[in-house]
Amino acid sequence: MTAQEAQPAPERVLVFAAHPDDIDFGASATIAGWTAAGVSVSYCILTDGDAGGFSADDRPGIADLRRAEQRDAAALVGVTDVTFLGEPDGYLAPTDAVVRGIVRRMREVRPDIVLSMHPERSWDRLQKSHPDHLACGEAVTRAVYPAVENPFAYPELEAAGLRSFRVPWLWFYGGPAHLENRFVDVTGLEDIKIGAITAHRSQHPDVGRMQSRVRAILQENARRGGLPEGHSAESFHAVGVNTEETIAGF
């Protein structure tokens, strides 16, 4: 799927991340474009982020600080619905409890697109593949199929009125470059993305270097996606889960 092959705009999107700031590095410009067009976007952060940061002065309240930073960053791109599962930072695993929590959020939001970190390791830049990132991708994938669409997977959710449903699309960010098949033109939204990332002030020992590197990555994504020179893009691995091209039972 190239940048030019347009997919109808979603009505609702649910974005999962392992840590506060992951979404902003991976997808915040695309999200800003969606919310500006009236799309409802919700965030669910799986860990409390307490292992992040560079200053010892932040340690006593780092989890609360990182939640506040994420809410500030979300507001910059038009997102107000931000929830946290509170798993320990650095120890995330696709356990039954984590998958159940993800299924609950999916059934509450009922999104057209689920965004998640990728479950496959990227060797071109290993930092994209923090173990929590991989665990996030695996847990979300297990939730998307088959758990969220199986009324018998978590019957207590069904009994509470959180009915099963089928997710049409699963988009991954932060995964291996060779799997990316969706390049979203975010030209003109670069400053919003930079602002959202910079809102995570506890995570940036060198703000200037971070900002210049992010801009370079956006331009490189655009080049790989076949966009004109000078454009910027965010890149995804888009997987059709329940679309006209898919069939249940295989």
pLDDT tens digits along 185-221: 999 999 999 999 999 999 888 999 999 999 999 999 9
pTM of the prediction? 0.94
Length of the chain, please?
A: 250
**Angle ∠(7,13,16) on CA atoms, nearest 5:** 120
Read off the pLDDT of residues 107-140 as tens digits, 9 standing for 90 and up: 999 999 999 999 999 998 888 899 999 999 999 9
Give the model's confidence band at 1: pLDDT under 50 very low, under 70 low, under 90 confident, else very high: very low
Q: Where are the domains of the chain?
A: 12-240
Which residue shows structure tokens 């990227």? 122
Cα–Cα dist 20/57, whole Å = 19
Mean pLDDT is lowest, of 33-42, 122-131, 201-210, 240-249, for: 240-249
Among candidate residues 169, 142, 129, 179, the one with its CA nearest the CA of residue 18: 129
Report the side by side order of strands in the sheet with 182-185: 81-87, 40-47, 12-17, 113-117, 169-173, 233-240, 182-185
Question: 3.50.7.10, 3.40.50.10320, 3.50.50.60, 3.20.20.150: which CATH number matches 12-240?
Answer: 3.40.50.10320
Cα–Cα dist 58/74, whole Å = 21
Beta strands, E only, 89-232: 113-117, 169-173, 182-185
